[in-house]
Structure 1
């Protein structure tokens, strides 16, 4: 059975901005972020800091990045995500991360660049998915 993440009344919302929503699902033990639209490097960095705070507070080992609606990321944001942010997530205890590719072809190029950089550095176990239900179900079974 396929399922998608939902924000239940038991979820703890860590951030609710027009470009991202970050929440903890206690039922699934997954920290989730749902991205939408364009984000500046400063916004990406601030969200990254908030996600790291939530990972630490919740003791999260599983994270889901729903990037289906994100727009193109600038070079600084890509370097931050594939470098410092990913290393800090691993150091904070994240064992499994799932990212869903964007619908927008140009945004997908940004995510492809991040994915390639992470793989070259051999620093992460992020798994990439075409659908949110596949990513969510994969994490639930980890």
Structure 2
């Protein structure tokens, strides 16, 4: 059973993200949940703990598949509980993954920064390594409500 909270456009999103009742779940692993909310038209991934490079690649492909299938334009990466990412994973996310997400239709993405200071360094490295002009519509947030509301405004 997931212990995430429900959100939609009618009410403010709670601090912890719940999978909406009508959401389509693409992935539900101990380290990540990926789901599409047809109400908000936002693909959300919620990361928890440590992920290997191979897990990052597999999840990234599932996210790309979901974006393609749903025609998603907006994605929310809730990385508050993720742990440090290895250098190979950081390079992949900043390079090939970001390029592919733009190619398949993502226009806006919001990333909520990790609470762990070392994991935040990993995300900062990714942010500074992204060199694609179209990725300028990716914003980083400290607060999940701000990130969600920013995506809703787009």
Q: Structures share a fold, TM > 0.5? A: yes
Q: Given that residues 99 and 132 in structure 2 are in contact (C-alpha distance below 8 angstroms), is that contact kept between their aligned partners in structure 1?
A: no
Q: TM-score, normalised by structure 2?
A: 0.88
Taking only aligned residues, the RMSD between alpha carbons, in angstroms, comes to: 1.2
1:50-129 matched pairs, under 5 angstroms: 50-118=62-130, 120-124=131-135, 125-129=137-141
Q: Given that residues 2 and 134 in structure 1 are in contact (C-alpha distance below 8 angstroms), is that contact kept between their aligned partners in structure 2?
A: no
SS of equivalent to 2:101: helix
SS of equivalent to 1:69: strand
SS of equivalent to 2:93: helix
Uncovered stretches (5+) of structure 1, i.e. residues with no partner: none
Question: For the residues of structure 2 that align with 1:82 and 1:56, how far apart are their CA atoms?
Answer: 20
The partner residue of 1:27 within 39, 47, 58 is: 39
The partner residue of 1:16 within 22, 28, 38 is: 28
Uncovered stretches (5+) of structure 2, i.e. residues with no partner: 1-10
Q: TM-score, normalised by structure 1?
A: 0.95
